[in-house]
Amino acid sequence: MFIELLKTRRSIRRYQDRPLEKEKLETILKSALLSPSSRGTRPWQFVVVTDRAALMKLAACKEHGSAFLKGAAAAVVVLADTAACEAWVEDASIASVIMQLTAHALGVGSCWIQVRGRQHSRDVKAEDYVRDALGVPEEYAVESIIAFGYADEPKTPHPEPQLPHAKVHFESYGR
């Protein structure tokens, strides 16, 4: 059941020193290409990075929340053509999370690194840093980097009794 998969998903930021099988990476990428998108515009592009030096460079894209990428087996940088569709943020986000869920189904850990709207340093946007590191053309926004690798940290599922059910409203707000 898909819900069982969702119950055990957690963000993984510590990885074993073990490469990701080519077939698993291909399945993860296929799942991204199968993602729904607004009006079927598919505004995304994906840059797959496995080279250690390149992962190290991307790990420095922000001051906080990206350093763990150094230890990942692979990263997929999610880009979007902002002129293709006004819902590109949603489209790129959906593809990002679909890759994460596919990875989890394959026994592979992952974590989202937010790039859009974040700073590399006071004067440099994280997006520009990543664009420069990977040679991404100006017309593409950088939404996220999804880090992948086999987990080297124990993570327990979110306890079900603690789920914020009060955030769900039936028929009208507040009920």
Ligand X SMILES: Cc1cc2nc3c(=O)[nH]c(=O)nc-3n(C[C@H](O)[C@H](O)[C@H](O)COP(=O)(O)O)c2cc1C
Binding site for ligand X (CB under 6 A): 10-11, 13, 65, 111-114
How many H helices and E strands in the chain?
A: 5, 4
Shorter beta-carbon distance to ligand X: residue 80 or 111: 111
Nearer to ligand X, 13 or 24 (CB): 13
Q: Tokens in use for 137?
A: 């053309």
For ligand X, the nearest residue by Cβ is: 65
Q: CB nearer to ligand X: give 50 or 114.
A: 114
Which residue type is seen at 36? P
The minimum distance between CB 20 and ligand X, in angstroms, equals 19
* Smallest separation (angstroms) from ligand X to the CB of 109: 10
The least CB distance from residue 174 to ligand X, in Å, is: 26
Look at the block and give the residue holding tokens 């914020």. Answer: 164
Residue nearer to ligand X on the CB measure, 137 or 159: 159
| Cβ nearer to ligand X, comparing 40 with 129 | 129
Taking the complex as a whole, how short is the minimal distance between the CB of residue 112 and ligand X, in angstroms?
A: 4
**SS3 string of 89-154?**
HHHHHHHHHHHHHHHHHCCCEEEEEECCCCECCCCCEHHHHHHHHHCCCCCEEEEEEEEEECECCC
Burial of residue 169 (number of CB atoms within 10 Å: 0-12, 13-18, 19+)? exposed
Give min distance, CB of 116 to ligand X, in A: 9
Name the amino acid, one letter, at 104: H
Interatomic CA distance for residues 141 and 148, integer angstroms? 21
